[in-house]
Amino acid sequence: MEDDNVGRTRQGRASRAHSSARKELAANAPPPKRGRRGKQGPPVRGTHDAEAGGSGGSRSRARRPVRDDEDFDAGQYLNEPVDYQEDEQPQPQPQPQPQEEEPNVQEESYPGGPRDLSLLKNYHKHRAIPIWDAQPNDPILNRSLRCIASANKVIKIQKPTQDWFWQYIIASGLEPLVRTNFNVLDYGLLWAFAERWHPETSTFHLPIGEMGITLDDVQCLLHISIQGKFLNHVKISRPDGAQMLSTYLGIDEGDALDMFATLKGPYLTHSYVQGLFMDYLDAAETAFANNAPMHEYFADLSSVHEWNWGSAALVQLQNYLDFASQAQASQLAGYMQSIDNIQVSDVVFSPYDNRRHIRPLIDACWFSGWLRCGSLKSKHLPERVLRQFKYVQGIPRDPDVSTPNMNVFEIDRVWAEEMDMRLIDENMRGQAVVNAWDCDPGYVLWFYKVSHPKMRPLEAPEDQPRPPELEVLLEESQQRHDPNPLGICRRVRDEVERALDAGEAEPGTPVHGTLRKILNMLNPCLTYKRLCRGRRGGRRG
């Protein structure tokens, strides 16, 4: 009788993709070495510019270090089922123990805020500190960071018009993404906002308060679903990636592994994928024109629309903002002064009012808690940006109340089973706004205490020279209308003496002492002025 637990093979070798094969490999693995080499950290990778031999100019790419092999997050293979034995049940993967947060280096306060470190506990790592401390001619204020965008490449890909192609795209619920790309991006504006992003609250901290990107923004701008199951894909290795490319795209596994070796990980270049797409598209159109027998080319796309693609987009965006807000990232200050000077009248807090008949404000928009995409997670806290929902903004609760420490399985359970319990209900929303910028008394004072709303210290503008004609007119006007300083001082002295004589301030009280000080300061001035006038009068006589 054959053994049912034999793992799959690939090119004559055992595959690690099978759960039994992975367990057998782990059981037979030799114990780790405990020599000095084992204690050394991973080798330090140079930057892209350093490897290319460049001088490391002011422009650099904002991206995380490239993940290799087991660190690769297979975001494009989102619906790959995990292969379990029939007698096995999927077991939760052990979660890494969270490291203790490094305390803020400065225990009391920072110049420009925050003065209270109870909210921004990791502020000492934020890029706002070196920007605030920089001198006006500091190079840190002139560095720029280039975003990596592929919108033009996506827009220019040739797309067929036949139903056989589009019916699968429309059924997936992702067809609107074809029409929501931008071929021009304002990188300066993007990075000016990234400087104001704080991972503790997952919001932008502006001079007018907090603003954020919510699930409502995702559904109204991208037109994709914000409901359904969170994407639960796992990481992928090079051999598994090669097998998937062979299964779904017909690429030889050996060729795929060669490409992975060149790209230092299970990746494909955009030009290669585009060429592959065009080749298959030409073959499909030829078969369609010749009325050739049609086959099922796609592997189980019927459930694609059930996944929460909107949350996936928001989680990915917020994780990149978390990375970009750190002090290690390159700086950019093109729009810094403009945002530092922003007023509430410059902000459109609720831009979707005229399209609510198309995209209503559903319950998921009010969810307060964790979102996730694979191994990534991010906070969604609508209670911190109530003005974006047309409610008066008050001092919000601590973000840890809404987002306690959870693993990915708990996050899935809360989203699926406790949605109603995690919504910001009518009582928590408070009053509707009269003016779009309305907030509770004390909110702005609290916000300036716990945040760093401005990136640069305020600088007094230089006085501009005035035309000579205007100077003459101003001098003549001052001569006609300037009050007599001596008369003002005399009237103040008389009023203070009257108040003291009338007993309006009881002796021994602070007010009585202050009035006495004012009187003592005024009397010498008036006496000196009277003496000077008497001397001048004597000479004239």
pLDDT in tens, 95-107: 555 555 555 555 5
- CA pair distance 51, 44, nearest whole angstrom: 12
State the pLDDT at residue 351: 93
* Regions in the chain scoring below 50 on pLDDT: 1-28, 30-93, 331-333, 538-541
State the pLDDT at residue 471: 63
pLDDT tens string 276-316: 888 888 877 777 777 666 555 555 677 888 899 999 999 99
Q: 412 to each of 230, 403, 415, 467, how far by Cα in Å?
A: 7, 13, 5, 69
| Alpha-carbon torsion, ordered 500, 506, 507, 511, to 10 deg | -80
Q: Is 203 exposed, middle or buried (0-12, 13-18, 19+ CB in 10 A)?
A: buried
State the pLDDT at residue 213: 96
- CA pair distance 461, 143, nearest whole angstrom: 24
Contact 498, 468 (CB under 8 A): no
- Token match 């002295």: residue? 493
CA-nearest of 347, 344, 321 to 196 is 321
State the pLDDT at residue 90: 43
Contact 331, 250 (CB under 8 A): no
State the pLDDT at residue 44: 37
- CA pair distance 485, 354, nearest whole angstrom: 59
Interhelix angle 270-289/163-172, rounded to 10 degrees, is: 130
- CA pair distance 329, 206, nearest whole angstrom: 20
State the pLDDT at residue 7: 42
Half-sphere exposure of 267 (CA within 13 A, CB side): 14
pLDDT tens string 131-163: 898 888 887 776 666 666 676 777 777 788 877
pLDDT tens string 206-226: 999 999 999 999 999 999 999
Q: Which residues pair with 235 in a beta bridge?
A: 73
CA-nearest of 485, 487, 483, 492 to 518 is 492
Main-chain phi, psi angles of 134, to 5 degrees:
-70, 145
Alpha carbon 465 to its chain centroid, in Å, reads 43
State the pLDDT at residue 320: 86
- Is the bond leading into 92 cis (omega within 30 degrees of zero)? no
State the pairing for strand pair 376-380/369-373.
antiparallel
Q: 414 to each of 95, 158, 372, 420, how far by Cα in Å?
A: 17, 42, 11, 10
